[in-house]
């Protein structure tokens, strides 16, 4: 009798240990992107994981491009080549962090908003602790499906095909990502990437889709600052119109100034071009592309610094 009880006791202990191990593993899978896991490096770890996810697409040569899509430079006797230099890995990671910055900005910065996006952002931040990580991840897949520098005005159908592939690549990764609660949520984030494709969901019926799309598109537009032939004033106006649906808050001037400066800081850190001062590619752009971990370090040297004061006038970091 005693032997049977003892054996049963040991089995119960083993079951408890195995259960706890499983729970710890599941929790760690989720916390690798959470600011609550390790506030000193969890955001950089998350960006590193995103970098690994999108790197195969952004560092590979276009299949339908030309030799002009690649940038090359000799640095200290070594030749560096960066494929799809205009829509490469640095561009993808900057979009993700800009989207993250915008989301935190909506939560923390005091503004008069009539569009509902501020209330939505504040609510999502309270009800889903992983929402911001999902935003950064999905936004980083924008333009990953490109296979040339084709524009929408040059070949609309080909451009739309590339855009759909962005969503495909994201979905492939998201299927095995523990952040997402199910197929519907994955679909919402995938369709938020789309611009010219209608998708299957109606943003007028799905609030998350409407506001995620605004954030993603504004983040992408802000990074157009890298193209030296573009009009900076027009870019800023379009980014604000996209974010607030044309109904700009009273504080729009200070908002776009802060976000525009943030975009410039990311460009400088990653060695990319800048239309404001007509800066060309810097050596860092080439070396970081060949060693993407240094790209993550560089971009987080910006992301870890505050760029605005919250409504309580307390300086915060935009990579919490």
Q: What is the pTM of this model?
A: 0.85
DSSP 313: S
Would you say 112 and 249 are in contact if contact means Cβ atoms under 8 Å apart?
A: yes
Residue among 299, 276, 303, 280 nearest 289 (CA): 299
pLDDT digits (tens, 9 = 90+) for 283-316: 999 999 999 999 999 999 999 988 887 654 333 3
Q: What is the predicted pLDDT for the residue at 41? A: 83
Q: What is the predicted pLDDT for the residue at 18? A: 39
Residue 227, class by beta-carbon neighbours within 10 Å (0-12 exposed, 13-18 middle, 19+ buried)? middle
**Angle (CA) 299 304 309, round 5°:** 125
The CA distance from 219 to 103, in Å, is 10
Would you say 120 and 252 are in contact if contact means Cβ atoms under 8 Å apart?
A: no
DSSP 274: B
Residue among 51, 148, 53 nearest 93 (CA): 51
Inter-CA distances, 252 with 101, 113, 225, 227, 258, Å: 16, 10, 18, 23, 10
Q: What is the predicted pLDDT for the residue at 311? A: 55
The CA distance from 186 to 176, in Å, is 11
**Phi then psi for 179, rounded to 5 degrees?**
-65, -35
**Angle (CA) 145 146 150, round 5°:** 150
The CA distance from 262 to 240, in Å, is 14
Tokens 């590193």 identify what position? 48
What does the CA dihedral 150, 154, 157, 158 come to, rounded to 10 degrees? -20
Would you say 201 and 209 are in contact if contact means Cβ atoms under 8 Å apart?
A: yes
Which residues are 80's β-sheet partners? 73
The H or E element spanning position 243 is helix 232-244
The CA distance from 130 to 122, in Å, is 13
> In a structure prediction context, what are the per-residue pLDDT tens digits for the chain, which is 320 residues long?
434 444 444 444 443 333 344 333 333 334 333 333 344 488 999 999 999 999 999 999 999 999 999 999 999 999 999 999 999 999 999 999 999 999 999 999 999 999 999 999 999 999 999 999 999 999 999 999 999 999 999 999 999 999 999 999 999 999 999 999 999 999 999 999 999 999 999 999 999 999 999 999 999 999 999 999 999 999 999 999 999 998 999 999 999 999 999 999 999 999 999 999 999 999 999 999 999 999 999 999 999 988 887 654 333 333 33
Cα atoms in the 13 Å half-sphere on the side-chain side of 30: 14
């Amino acid at each position: 009798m005693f032997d049977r009880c003892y054996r049963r006791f040991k089995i119960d202990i083993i079951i408890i240990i195995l259960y706890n191990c499983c729970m710890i593993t599941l929790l760690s899978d989720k916390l690798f992107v959470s600011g609550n896991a390790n506030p000193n490096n969890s955001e950089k770890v998350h960006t590193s994981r995103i970098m690994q996810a999108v790197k195969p697409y952004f560092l590979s040569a276009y299949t339908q491009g030309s030799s002009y899509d690649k940038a090359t430079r000799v640095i200290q006797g070594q030749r560096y080549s960066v494929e799809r230099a205009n829509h490469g890995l640095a561009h993808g990671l900057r979009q993700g962090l800009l989207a993250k910055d915008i989301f935190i900005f909506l939560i923390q910065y005091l503004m008069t908003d009539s569009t509902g996006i501020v209330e939505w952002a504040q609510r999502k931040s309270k009800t889903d602790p992983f929402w911001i990580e999902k935003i950064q991840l999905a936004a980083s897949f924008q333009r990953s499906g490109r296979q040339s520098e084709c524009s929408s005005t040059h070949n609309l159908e080909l451009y739309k095909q590339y855009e759909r592939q962005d969503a495909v690549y994201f979905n492939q990764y998201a299927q095995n990502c523990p952040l997402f609660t199910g197929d519907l949520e994955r679909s919402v984030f995938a369709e938020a990437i789309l611009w010219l494709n209608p998708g299957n969901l109606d943003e007028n019926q799905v609030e998350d889709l409407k506001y995620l799309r605004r954030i993603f598109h504004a983040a992408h537009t802000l990074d157009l600052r890298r193209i030296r032939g573009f009009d900076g004033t027009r870019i800023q106006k379009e980014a604000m119109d996209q974010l607030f649906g044309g109904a700009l808050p009273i504080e729009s001037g200070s908002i776009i100034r802060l976000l525009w400066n943030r975009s410039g800081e990311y460009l400088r850190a990653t060695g990319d071009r800048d239309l404001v001062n007509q800066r060309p590619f810097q050596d860092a752009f080439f070396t970081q592309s060949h060693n993407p971990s240094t790209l993550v370090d560089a971009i987080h040297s910006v992301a870890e610094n505050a760029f605005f004061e919250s409504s309580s006038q307390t300086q915060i970091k935009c990579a919490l």
